Structure 1
Amino acid sequence: MAEIRPVRGWRYSPALSPTIDSYVSPLFDVVSSKQRAALYNNPLNSIHVSVPQGEDAAGAALRRLTEWQKADVLLQDALPGLYVYYQYFRLPGSAREYCRKGFMCHIRAYAWEENVVLRHENTLPVSVNDRAELLARTQMQSSATHGLYRDEAFELEYYMDEAVQDPLYQTEDYQGVRDVLAVIQDRTVIRKFQALLAEKQVILADGHHRYEASLAYRQARQAADSKATGYEPWNYHLMYLTNAAADDLRILPTHRLLLELPGQLTDEAFLQRLGEFFLVLAQDDAYALPEVIAGKTWAFGLYLGGQAYKLRLRPEVHAQLTWETTAQVKALDLTVLHYFVLERVLGIVGPEAQRNWPGVAYVRSFSECLAQVDRSAARAAFITNEVTMDEVERVCHSGAVMPPKSTFFYPKTIVGFLFTSIRDAEADNSFLQCV
């Protein structure tokens, strides 16, 4: 189903490779203001292209790319290839070293209704427009989205393992993750990757706004060119593809902070309303909440007024969940939380109103959630379990989307290892010879 292509990547000059750490940056949607300030101080850092500044930010990115190409800061590889990208990491409290294995390539920018690339969350139009303008002006992609295919036989890992023995780059990033980039330029091997993906659907794990920006740009170019063949470079999108069957694919929970309780609701009244839908049990140790709810369906930790509670939905109550969505979405813990807490208890009615409500914040750090409540920066914290890969796949194949901020695939990819062009000139090089 999915058509992928090798690319002639643009990469930092070999002269800069020994200091590649200085040029990589986090994805635009996870970089903090403090990180940004430090990264912008380096005139060659990739953040100037992925998160450009100024009133004409897209224009600034284009000027920067043009300067880098003219000065040989960025050089294009002579041959097209698939760029193998491994991320070695550990999780807190575990001695195990994980390795997420994948590769970067161009994939056709399929419309959602084609049912080849599947989404699991909605997007915000303003964010899509910003990324689409950047793509239209620069015609260069610097931030690969993250896609998942399922291959229980692990047919491609042998070739990727072989490639990373001769890395192009190695670095330790801002997450403490060791990132390794390599390339496969053997035409026969590339065709094996293409043949396997041609039978697969791809679930978009991360980067929905960037992917929709590629869709928007492709549609605009198609509308402007009646002779377009569908194989021009701008029909394709840069994606990092990993195997959903791998045990090294980790999804971390994103907790919910209630910054306010509408209607001057007191803590006591809030607990009373929650008791209409949940079994509410006080807990002695707030820091034990993740363990208390681990593996339990429709269970949450609550930290309110310095007191910890375990909440679990009363089973007979679930039938009251009336949102028009699929059974797969209704079964999710986070759907239960958003419906029974945000809608039924707090009166924030409907997914759209909840997405736009400023009274909820999404926080990945469990300890930060408790600290925010203790500092009175938030009224309450809801601690959640992580979403499983099985749940992600079932929701995507049902044609529905999850509540906002349901998944946090870890680790995040970094920017700066690879840039790819979708300019018309790319159609005239050896790119197509590997198809």
Structure 2
Amino acid sequence: MAEIQPLRGWRYNPVLSQQIDEYVSPLFDVVSRKQREALYQNPLNSIHLSVPRGDDAAGAALQRLQEWQQAGVLRQDELPGIYVYYQYFRLPGSTREFCRKGFMCHIRAYAWPEEVILRHENTLPASVNDRAELLARTEFQTSATHGLYRDDEFTLERWMDEAMQDPLYETTEDYQGARDVLAVIQDTNVIRQFQAVLARRQVILADGHHRYEGSLAYRQAQLAATPNATGQEGWNYHLMYLTNSAADDLRILPTHRLLLDLPGALTDAELLARLEPYFTVLPKEDAYDLPELIAGKPWAFGLYLQGGQAYKIRLRPEVHAQLSWDTTPEVKALDLTVLHFFVLEKALGLVGLDAQRQWPGVAYVRSFSECLTRVDAGEARAAFITNEVTMQEVEQVCHSGAVMPPKSTFFYPKTIGGFLFSSIRAEETTHPFLVELMTDC
């Protein structure tokens, strides 16, 4: 189903690549203000292209890109290829080193109704417009979105492992503690194998919904302006990192809900009283036991209030039928749907996901200890501790045609910006080797 193509990647020149840690950056939607300010101090860091500053930010990115290309800061590979990308990482409390295996390529920017690339969350129009404008001005992609394909036979891993015997470069440790390694496959016959596997599969978009929709918006504008388009123009394609969802090194971390305030100036006692018609509420002595107490239990959450009050709450099974949102059974079964409906809507009066998404009183926090610390410091009124969403749940929701509540998934580790750049300019996407592949496949 999915058409992929190799690309002639742009990369930092060989001298700069020896210190690649100095030039990579977090993705635009996860980089903190503090991180941005630190990275901006390096005049060659990729943050200047991915999250440019100024009144005309996209124009500033274009100017800097042109300067870097002319000065040889960035160089384009002579031959197109599939870029193999491995991320080595550990999880807190574990000594096991995971290795997430994947590859970066160009993939056709399919509209959602085509059901080739499937989404699991909605986007914010302002962020999509920002990404679309940046792409339109620069015709350059600074970081790959993350897509998932399922191959239970693990057909492609042997070629990826072989390429990794001769890597191009690697980070020592990126901002999230992962070690990132890049290699390239330029063998025509091997690339065809990658294309054949993906041609039989749908792709679930794990991360990068705003960047992907930015590509869709730019492609739509180009189609309207180019009535004689062949379909093979560079703007038909999008840079994506593809990993196998059948692998056991794909990790989705929980995203907890931190309530910075309670609507209507509710007291803690009033909040608990509003929860009791829907949940069993059990006091617990040690808040640090909450993740273990709810692990693997459907519709169970930890609740932490000021003064060190800790509770395990779990939805009463008989009330689940009251969940009246117009969505699929797969979405209704999710823990986070239960949390958003019965806590935010029923108990707190925030009716509907749109109202909840716009409410400034909720923060999405990945760190359990940060949740407790911020409540103890008086920065928040309550923390709801959640379980992670499973890969099976993501696949079920995507195939149902629905989307999850906001901030349902946090795929870990994140890809990094600046490791590989991709151009969609016409003169850079018509290499003879690439045309041959397009013709033969």
What TM-score, normalized by structure 1, do the two folds share? Answer: 0.99
Partner residue of 2:244?
Answer: 243
1:150-299 matches, within 5 Å, as 150-171=150-171, 172-299=173-300
What code does the residue aligned with 2:133 have? E
Deviations 1:226-273 (A, max 9, x none): 101111010000000000000000000000011111111111111011
Q: What is the match of residue 21 of structure 1?
A: 21
May I ask how many residue pairs the two structures share in their alignment? Answer: 435
- Distance (whole Å) between structure 1 residues aligned to residue 27 and residue 169 of structure 2: 18
Which residue identity lines up with residue 262 of structure 1 in the other structure?
P
Which residue number corresponds to residue 314 of structure 1?
316
Cα deviation digits, residues 292-339 of structure 1 (max 9, x gap): 000000000000122000000000000000000000000000000000
Does the aligned pair in 1 maintain the 2:143–2:419 contact within 8 Å? no
In structure 2, distance between residues paired with 1:49 and 1:117: 26
Q: Which moved more, 1:9-18 or 1:340-349?
A: 9-18
Unaligned runs of 5+ in 2: none
Q: Match of 1:62, as an amino acid?
A: L
How far apart are 1:370 and its partner, in Å?
A: 0.5
Q: Which residue of 2 aligns with 1:35?
A: 35
Kindly state the Cα deviation for residue 424 of structure 1 after the two structures are TM-superposed. 1.5
Per-residue deviation, 1:427: 3.9
Tell me how far 1:166 sits from its aligned partner. Answer: 0.4
Instruction: Quote the Cα distance in structure 1 between the aligned partners of 2:72 and 2:112.
Output: 38
Whole-angstrom distance in 2 between the partners of 1:321 and 1:176? 40
Q: Give the match for residue 396 of structure 1.
A: 398
**What is the 5 A alignment of 1:124-135?**
124-135=124-135
**Structure 1 CA distance, aligned partners of 2:133 and 2:376?**
42
Paired residue for 1:136?
Answer: 136
Q: After superposition, give the CA deviation of every residue in 1:384-407 in whole Å (9 maximum; x if it has no partner).
A: 000000000000000000000000
Query: What is the CA-CA distance between 1:428 and the residue it aligns to?
Result: 3.2
Contact persistence 1:255–1:381 (CA under 8 A) = yes
Q: What secondary structure is seen at the aligned counterpart in 1 of 2:18?
A: helix
**CA drift at 1:143:** 1.2
- Taking the aligned partners of 2:44 and 2:382, their CA distance within structure 1 comes to 42
- Give the conservation status (yes or no) of the 8 Å contact 1:121–1:402: yes
Cα distance in 2, alignment partners of residues 262 and 396 from structure 1: 33
Give 1:425 deviation, angstroms: 1.1
Q: Tell me, what secondary structure is at the counterpart of 2:19?
A: helix
CA distance in 2, matches of 1:255, 1:421: 37
CA distance in 1, matches of 2:7, 2:333: 40
Q: How far apart are residue 29 of structure 1 and its match?
A: 1.1
Q: Which moved more, 1:155-164 or 1:16-25?
A: 16-25
Q: Secondary structure at the match of 1:96?
A: coil
**Equivalent residue for 1:50?**
50
8 Å Cα contact 2:302/2:311 also seen in 1: yes
SS of the counterpart of 1:263?
helix
**Among 416, 428, 434, the residue aligned to 2:418:** 416
In structure 2, the residue corresponding to 1:414 is in which secondary structure? coil
Give the equivalent residue in structure 2 for 1:120: 120
Q: SS in structure 2 opposite 1:415?
A: coil
Q: 1:434, CA displacement in angstroms?
A: 3.0
RMSD of Structure 2 on Structure 1 (CA): 0.7
Q: Is contact 2:8–2:429 with CA below 8 Å preserved after alignment?
A: no
Aligned-partner SS, 1:120: coil
Q: Does 1:432 align with 2:432?
A: no
Offset of residue 420 of structure 1: 0.7
Q: Partner of 1:109 in structure 2?
A: 109
Write the letter of the residue equivalent to 1:178. Answer: R
Match of 2:378 in 1: 376
Structure 2 Cα separation of the partners of residues 15 and 302 of structure 1? 51
Q: Which amino acid aligns with 1:197?
A: L
Q: Gaps (5+ residues) in structure 1?
A: none
Distance 1:247 1:185 in 2: 27
Q: Residues of 2 paired with 1:102 and 1:428: CA distance? A: 25
Q: Distance in 2 between matches of 1:260 and 1:25?
A: 32
Matched, 1:385 2:387: yes
The 2-side partners of 1:61 and 1:9 are apart by 18
2-structure distance, mates of 1:156, 1:91: 26
**Matched-pair contact (CA < 8 Å) for 1:80–1:434:** no
TM-score, normalised via structure 2 length: 0.98
SS of equivalent to 2:211: helix
